[in-house]
Amino acid sequence: MNKKLLVVAIGAIAALPFSAQAAGPTLYGKLNLSLENKDNGTVDTWTVESNASRLGVKGDAETGVDGVTGIYVAEFEVKADDGTGPFKARNIYTGIKGGFGTVLMGNVDTPTKTVQGKVDQFNDTRADMKALVAGDLRAPNVLAYATPKLGDAVTVTAALWQSEAAGDGIGEATSVSAVYDNDGLYLGVGMDMEVPATGGVALTANAASDITRVVAGYSSDSFDIGFLYQMAEEAVAANEDTSMLIGGAFKSGDLKIKAQYVTTDGDTAGVTNTETLMAFGADYSVGKATTVYGWFAMNEDDGTLEDQYLSLGIEQKF
């Protein structure tokens, strides 16, 4: 074939309306590895940590119905530090979306978990707020609905969690959230009702619990600031947690310097215990996909230093 004709043919193919078709499968992920020191005053240990490293596939699918698109995500955590164990399921779901919003089913983060947005400056590390704050739940057997963005700012999400126990109906536990996100300002409220407890100080693991979480944050080119307040209590036992987070960062070019303070007052049948987690760190972006970072954190239990952490790491997204 004449080279000029070949160029014209390729150009004609490229001009076809492929944009009208749904996006096919996209492979994505990140590897986040750090060299860490943990010192509890008795034992001093060095380890290499895989901080929620993950691999996933996502995409859209045509449905044949005007304005309705199928969606799917299958994401797995990988042990990038030593390669042991099988993949661990993260968010895995399928659903449909359109002008009516999004409906999905699967294994997904609850609305109360995701309402935290980006206020946790040390997310996915051992200084993550989930070390002290309950509600970091990725729930199985979920049916969820999210509205489209209302007024270009507000999204409301509701999720029903099925226990699948004999005799139990739909929505044995419920999680809902409302988020305002516009022009750098982020406000959110989330509520869990009868949801299995995860984390915290006083809550019993997997006990049905009620959680109310309020979040506020603001982000600009030069700084971030975030605040979270949460009340959590077991539905049956007299165990409850009251948590607070305040954190922020200063940004200059590719450098971000950040700090965070998290505290939880746990009340176990009238006995109060307070835990705190303070962290300081810096991130430096080396291109769009690569970040090198370091942080230091201290964990105290009723004013007594329990653990100190020092971490140096690299995060590579793809």
Average pLDDT estimate for 301-311? 90
Given this model, what pLDDT does residue 275 score? 96
Q: Which is higher by pLDDT, 257 or 237?
A: 257
Number of other residues whose CB lies within 10 A of the CB of residue 254: 11
**Structure-model confidence comparison of residues 283 and 10, the more confident one:** 283
Question: Residue 211 burial by CB count (10 A; 0-12/13-18/19+): exposed, middle or buried?
Answer: buried
pLDDT(168) > 90: no
296 torsion bin: left (phi>0), alpha (psi -120 to 50), beta (else): beta
Render pLDDT for 224-233 as a digit per residue (tens, 0 to 9).
Answer: 999 999 999 9
pLDDT in tens, 32-42: 999 999 998 88
pLDDT of residue 93: 98
Closest CA to 298 of 289, 283, 311, 309: 309
Residue 10 has pLDDT above 50, yes or no: no
Average pLDDT over the chain reads 91
* pLDDT for residue 129: 97
> Domains in the chain, please, with CATH?
22-317 (2.40.160.10)
* HEC secondary structure over 133-156: CCCCCEEEEEEEEECCCECCCEEE
291 neighbors 151 (Cβ within 8 angstroms): no
CA distance 306 to 242: 20
List, for residues 180-221, the tens digit of each pLDDT value. 999 999 999 999 999 999 999 999 999 999 999 999 999 999
Residue 305 has pLDDT above 90, yes or no: no
Inter-residue contact 112 to 136 (CB < 8 Å): no
Q: Return the closest-CA partner of residue 206 out of 242, 166, 244, 234.
A: 234
Q: Which two tokens stand for residue 12?
A: 């004609």
Query: What 3 state SS string does the chain have?
Result: CCHHHHHHHHHHHHCCCHHHCCCCCEEEEEEEEEEEEEECCCCEEEEEEECCCEEEEEEEEECCCCCCEEEEEEEEECCCCCCCCCCEEEEEEEEEEECCEEEEEEEEECHHHHCCCCCCCCCCCCCCHHHCCCCCCEEEEEEEEECCCECCCEEEEEEEECCCCCCCCCCCEEEEEEEEEECCEEEEEEEEEEEECCCCCCCCCCCEEEEEEEEEEEECCCEEEEEEEEEEEECCCCEEEEEEEEEEEEEECCEEEEEEEEEEEEEECCEEEEEEEEEEEEEEECCCCEEEEEEEEEEEECCEEEEEEEEEEEEEEC
63 pLDDT more than 50: yes
What's the pLDDT at 22?
66
Give the pLDDT of residue 11: 40
